[in-house]
Amino acid sequence: MTVANSMVSGPVTEAMLPRPFRVISHRFETPDTVTLELEPDDGADLSFAPGQFTMLYVFGVGEVPISISGDPHRPEILVHTVRSVGAVTAAIAGLGIGDRVGIRGPYGVGWPVGHAEGRDLVVVAGGIGLAPLRPVVYDVIARRDRFGAVSIVYGSRSPIDLMFQEELHSWRSRFDLQIEVTVDRSDESWFGDVGVVTGLLPRIPFDPERAVAMLCGPEIMMKVVANELETRGVAPENVYVSVERNMKCAIRFCGHCQFGSDFLCRDGPVLAYAQVSDRLRVPEL
Amino acid sequence: MNLRSIREKSELLTRLSNTELDLFESVSSEVQLADGEILFEEGGVADSFFTIVSGRIGLELTSPGRAPVSIQTLGPGELVGVSWFFDPYRWNWRARALGDTHLVAFDAVAIRQKCEVDRDLALEVLGVVAEEAVRRLHRTRIQLLDLYRSS
Amino acid sequence: MSQVVVDRGDIGTLFEILASDGYTILGPRVRDEAIVYDQVRGVDDLPIGWTDEQEGGAYRLVARDDQALFGYAVGQHSWKKFLFPPRTTLLEVKRDNGSLEFVQHEVPETRYAFLGVRACELAAIAIQDKVFLGSGEVDHTYQTARRDGFTVAINCMVAGGTCFCVSMGTGPRCTSGYDLVLTEVIDSDRHEFVFEAGTEAGQSVVQRLPGRVASDHDVVRVDRIVETTAASMGRSMDNTGVKELLLANLEHPRWDDVAERCLACTNCTLVCPTCFCSTIEDSVTLDGEVATRSRRWDSCFTFDFSNLHGVPVRSTTKSRYRQWMTHKLATWYDQFGSSGCVGCGRCITWCPVGIDITAEVAAIRASQEVTA
């Protein structure tokens, strides 16, 4: 079959074209998790809202969605915390300073930080889930007077899997927020809490009627914490979770990120628990 | 110690009626532990149980040649001890204070004896203990899922 | 718009006009014992005198007892293969001394005339318009093909064995979305085509066709043909409240039932004219200097479609079948404001085990009425 003429119309869509970014720093947070700082070749800031993600491309290997884990008040540096779980993320973890990647984005609906203004804020993170929530903490600290009681609850697998240890210490030394950290299993070096994050909820101060909670971590963890918060009087409309699914295009074309009616690249990944609790209960939805 | 002042914050005491609270108060005493002090030893006789007022208690397991490892931490308001209600009335874990810890201790033998004759009380106490055991079980199961590991 | 009747002997002029206007004409032709969509240059390329017999899991061509040009329903192709090509290169990445250069791949312009678009297919194209042009990003390949294309629709003279456009409100009469619509009329004493324009572009073609003005009799004849087709649908589906019905029954035992039959072969998604899922693939030249990113059709039935950290969320055939059907008939309403199904019946015909979407809905609905 021949084509009538060979005039060129343009690309399929410009939105699939990445921008080149350069790695300017690289540190291991845990044995399998790395934080990269990236700078754009074209120098244009990547402004983002906490909870948004970019599509990160590694030459010839592929592209994956990664939450932005940096400070939204410092958009000139793009920060990504990546856990090595597959071919692309392993390649990302192996990048060195000066290596280049492609970045598209930011995409998605982020955390409703504005909704939390004037209210108590409860941030609950499990494992790598602290990465998409760290921008919230940065933002809240920068505008601390806008929020009520601020609490952070962080659960990790074991003491060596705790991420952002410097930040954890720095947050713990502040008087204007409370942070509780626990591990699922401890070792001989650990004298902190051992147990699931829900066990820490009784210790943090919040007015359940008006608190806003932001949860990020494995789905089971988010469900258990959301249910516990509901038992304590926090309405599911005020509890937000970040739902994760396969993503290929991030621009609502490829169909992979569907979660019920929602396309997580555009309608999420942050959603109110009230909107998703029914769907999270259906296995393999 | 006047239990009414800590009643609302204690998962155990909040469930008791006023009469029951008076009974518990009559068999109670205060315990203050410094960081690292042992509350009870693994295998010890479970003749008390506790509610934490402030501080934390870590439940530990020891094994020869290894430093003890904490398997669960309990915080303010939580009940320490369920084994005191069931034969053979012995502790399965060691309990150690993490940080300065203030607890109220209750005479388990006395409460058990009262439960023998007052079945309503027995039901109430059993309910509290069972609920706490279920909550622990639930949390432990989630810990066992190893949710944060790489797939 | 005026209606014009063209005799069978003059129908070749349509091809001449479209070709001279610079179109590549795509239409039905016989290949590998099926009627597919490909380039057609003249009347003789069409499946003259053929019809199709379709049932769940069965398709075959049968000779008609007349020489109709369009006496069949639809085959496994749909127009999406031209508007949303199965494989498209998106961009190239050049690696040079550590830096990366991203270069968009330009696609050639297309100027297609679709000849023989059925009412259900017009509906499917309208649905895909919402997907690819509706909001946010725009797919330029799709946009250009649509903008610069010409559509000759057809009012079906036969209903297929698995058709249910009447149930879905999408046919068999073409009502909008075409430049021209034609109805083939064959009687013992005549073989003619009644043309009606739907746009100015269509009108310009109609004016150049050799024919006579349609009479009231012709109009009635067309109505009769459409009515007959409408009355002979192979399937029907009660679409009332189907979104609520399916979303309230996500754990219905019927899903286990269909899962035992479904092979997850992805045929249904390939032939469905509205399915739009795709994936992005990466390749690198042997010397490692240039990488390419391309888009290709994908299917929610594949095992790794829903992979999350290497493990599929939908690991069972059951959950994948449920995803396809609830997307098509239920969540599509929330996403795009209509059903995703146009009642063309392809998924029923081309399923190797004959799974019938209308029967699946009916089974779930019937069980609800019993317990309600």
Residue of C nearest to A243 (CA): C308
Dihedral sign computed on CA atoms, order C120, C126, C129, C130: negative
Instruction: With cut-offs at 50, 70 and 90, classify the pLDDT of residue A5.
Output: very low
Distance from CA of B21 to the nearest CA of A (A): 22
pLDDT of residue C137: 86
State the Cα torsion A19-A21-A27-A33 to the nearest 10°: 20
> Could you tell me if C53 and C154 lie in one domain?
yes
Cβ atoms C129, C146 nearer than 8 A: yes
Please count the CA atoms within 13 angstroms of the CA of C190 that sit on its side-chain side.
Answer: 11
Contact in structure between A267 and A226 (CB atoms under 8 Å)? no
In whole angstroms, give the CA distance from residue A55 to residue A67: 9
Indicate if C184 and C258 belong to the same structural domain.
Answer: no
Task: Say which of A84, A188, A198 has its CB closest to residue B69.
Answer: A188
The answer to whether B20 and B128 have CB atoms below 8 angstroms apart is: no
Nearest CA in chain C to A10: C106
Q: Does A143 touch chain B (CB under 8 A)?
A: no
H or E element, residue B126? helix B119-144
B146 lies within 8 A of chain A by CB = yes
- Using a 10 angstrom Cβ sphere, with 0-12 exposed, 13-18 middle and 19 or more buried, the burial of residue C249 is middle
Please answer whether residues B106 and B27 qualify as being in contact, where contact means their C-beta atoms are separated by less than 8 angstroms.
yes
Residue C45 token pair: 């390329």
Per-residue pLDDT band for C214 (boundaries 50, 70, 90) equals very high
d(CA C251, CA C259) in angstroms, rounded, equals: 13
In whole angstroms, give the CA distance from residue C368 to residue B40: 59
Answer yes or no: do A199 and B73 touch at CB < 8 A. Answer: yes
Residue A8's pLDDT is 61
Kindly list the partner chains of chain C, i.e. chains with 3 or more CB atom pairs below 8 Å. A, B
Chain C residues within 8 angstroms (CB to CB) of chain B: 309-311
pLDDT of C171 above 70: yes
H or E element that contains C130:
helix C119-133
CB A16 to CB C280 under 8 A?
A: yes
Q: How many CA atoms lie within 13 A of A202 on its CB side?
A: 18
Based on the domain organization, do C112 and C53 belong to the same domain? yes
Nearest CA in chain A to B144: A184
Q: What distance in Å separates the CA atoms of residue A36 and residue A42, rounded to the nearest whole number?
A: 18
A14-107 and A113-246+256-280: same fold?
no
Same domain, C194 and C312: no
Point out the residue among A10, A20, A245 whose CB comes nearest to the CB of C99. Answer: A20
Strand partners, C312: C307
Share of chain A above pLDDT 70, in %: 96
Which residue on chain A is closest to B67 by alpha carbon? A188
What is the domain partition of chain A in residue ranges? 14-107, 113-246+256-280
What is the pTM assigned to this prediction? 0.91
Are the beta carbons of C274 and C74 closer than 8 angstroms? no
pLDDT average, residue stretch C184-210: 96
CATH architecture of residue range(s) A14-107: Beta Barrel (2.40)
Q: Does domain A113-246+256-280 have CATH number 3.40.50.80?
A: yes
Q: Got the DSSP string for C180-219?
A: EEEEEEE-SS-EEEEEEE-SHHHHHHHHHS--EEPPHHHH
Nearby residues of B1 by Cβ (< 8 Å), 6 or more positions away: B25, B28, B29, B30, B104
Q: Is the pLDDT score of A4 beyond 70? A: no
Q: Compute the nearest-CA separation of B60 from chain C (Å).
A: 34
Min distance C246 CA to chain A CA atoms (Å): 12
Q: Nearest to residue C151, comparing CAs of C25, C275, C46, C273?
A: C25
**Residue ranges of domains in chain B:** 3-144
Three-state DSSP at C273 gives coil
Contact A52, A105 (CB under 8 A): yes
Decide if C97 is inside a domain: no
Asked if the C-beta of A193 comes within 8 angstroms of chain B's C-beta atoms, the answer is: yes
List the 44-73 stretch of B: residues with Cβ below 8 A of A. 56, 58, 66-73
Closest partner residue to B98 (CB to CB) among A185, A191, A220 is A191
C101 lies in some domain: no
Residue of C nearest to A99 (CA): C98
A157 and B71 within 8 Å at the Cβ level: the answer is: no
Q: Provide, as residue numbers in chain A, all residues whose Cβ is less than 8 Å from the Cβ of B131.
A: none
Among all residues of chain B, which has the CA nearest to that of C309? B151
Interface of B with A in 65-124 (CB under 8 A): 66-78, 98
For residue C203, being part of any structural domain is answered with yes
Chain C residues with CB inside 8 Å of B150's CB? 309
Q: Is C74 domain-assigned?
A: yes
Separation of alpha carbons A163 and A33, rounded Å: 8
Report the distance separating Cα B9 and Cα A205, nearest Å: 13
Residues 28-87 of C with CB under 8 A from A: 38-39
**From CA B13, how far away is CA B128, in angstroms rounded?**
9
Chains that touch B (3 or more CB pairs under 8 A): A, C
Out of A10, A246, A252, name the one closest to residue C306 (CB).
A246
Work out the average pLDDT over C169-174.
98
Tokens 């250009």, residue located: C144
Select the residue from A194, A200, A223, A232 to test the B interface by mutation, using most B Cβ atoms within 10 A.
A194
Q: To the nearest whole percent, how much of chain B has pLDDT over 70?
A: 99
Chain C residue with Cα closest to B149: C309
Return residues 197-216 of C near A (CB < 8 Å).
Answer: none
For residue C116 the two structure tokens come to 């023989």
What lies within 8 Å, CB to CB, of C47 at 6+ separation is C28, C29, C30, C35, C61, C69, C72
Write the burial class of residue B63 (CB in 10 Å: 0-12 exposed, 13-18 middle, 19+ buried).
exposed
Q: Which of A84, A128, A195 is facing B143, going by the closest CB pair? A: A195
What six digits make up the tokens of C158?
């036969």
pLDDT, position A2: 33
Mutate to test the interface with C, among A253, A257, A267, A281 (most CBs of C within 10 A): A253
Shortest alpha-carbon distance between residue C87 and chain A (Å): 11
Among the ranges given (A212-226, B13-27, C118-132), the one the predictor scored with the smallest mean pLDDT: B13-27
Q: How much is the average pLDDT of A176-180?
A: 97
Contact criterion met (CB below 8 Å) for C158 and C71: yes
The SS3 of residue C117 is strand
Mean pLDDT score, C267-286: 97
- On whether both C171 and C252 belong to a single domain, the answer is no
Using the beta-carbon criterion (under 8 Å), do C39 and A14 form an inter-chain contact?
A: no
Residue A162: list chain B partners with CB under 8 A.
none
Q: State the helix-helix crossing angle for B18-26 and B108-117, rounded to 10 degrees.
A: 140
Nearest-neighbour CA in chain C from B136: distance (Å)? 29
C-alpha distance from A272 to closest chain C C-alpha (Å): 17
- CB atoms under 10 Å from CB of C45, counted, come to 17
Instruction: Name the minimum distance, in Å, from the CA of B72 to any CA of chain C.
Output: 29
Report how far Cα C260 is from the mean position of its chain's Cα atoms.
28
pLDDT band at residue A11 under the 50/70/90 scheme = confident
Position A6 confidence tier, pLDDT thresholds 50, 70, 90: very low
Name all chains with 3 or more CB-CB pairs below 8 Å to chain A: B, C
* Cβ atoms A51, A132 nearer than 8 A: yes
> What confidence tens digit (pLDDT) does each residue in A104-141 have?
999 999 999 999 999 999 999 999 999 999 999 999 99
- Whether residues C127 and C264 fall in one domain: no
Q: Where in the sequence is the domain holding C271, given as residue range(s)? A: 242-278+298-371
- Stated as kind and residue range, the H or E segment containing A64 is strand A62-67
What residues of chain B lie within 8 A of the CB of A86, using their CB?
Answer: none
State both tokens at A16: 């699939």
C279 secondary structure, DSSP code = E
| B63-103 residue pLDDT tens | 777 778 888 999 999 999 989 998 889 998 899 999 999 99
Q: What pLDDT score was predicted for residue B151? A: 59
State which amino acid sits at residue C226.
Answer: V
DSSP string, B52-104: EEEEEEEEEEEETTEEEEEEEEE-TT-EE-SGGGSTT-B-SSEEEEEEEEEEE
Is residue C103 over pLDDT 50?
Answer: yes
pLDDT at position C209 over 80: yes
Asked, for residue C76, whether it belongs to a domain, the answer is yes
Cβ neighbours, 10 Å, residue A3: 14
Cβ atoms C234, C160 nearer than 8 A? yes
Determine the pLDDT at residue A167.
95
Looking at the 3D structure of chain C, how many domains does it have?
Answer: 2
Which of C39, C305, C323 lies closest to A1 in CB terms? C39
Query: What tokens were used for B148?
Result: 């944060």
**Alpha-helix runs per DSSP H in chain A:** 87-93, 113-116, 130-142, 165-172, 219-231, 264-267, 273-280
User: CA-CA distance, A260 to C335, in Å (whole number)?
Assistant: 10
ipTM over the 0.85 cut-off: yes
Cβ distance A198 to B139 less than 8 Å, yes or no, reads yes
DSSP state letter for A269: B
What backbone phi and psi angles, to 5 degrees, belong to A238? -100, 5
Do the Cβ atoms of A59 and C251 come within 8 Å?
A: no
- What average pLDDT does chain B have? 91
Nearest to A8 among C109, C136, C139 (CB): C109
For tokens 């390949």, the residue is C141
What fold does the segment set B3-144 form as a domain?
Jelly Rolls (2.60.120)
Buried/exposed code over A243-280 (b: 16+ C-beta within 10 A; e: otherwise): bbbbbbbbbbbbbbbbbbbbbbbbbbbbbbbebbbebb
Say which residue, C185 or B15, is predicted with more confidence: C185
Rounded Cα gap, residues C57 and A152, in angstroms: 57
A to B CB pairs, distance under 8 Å? 77
Percent of chain C with pLDDT over 90: 92
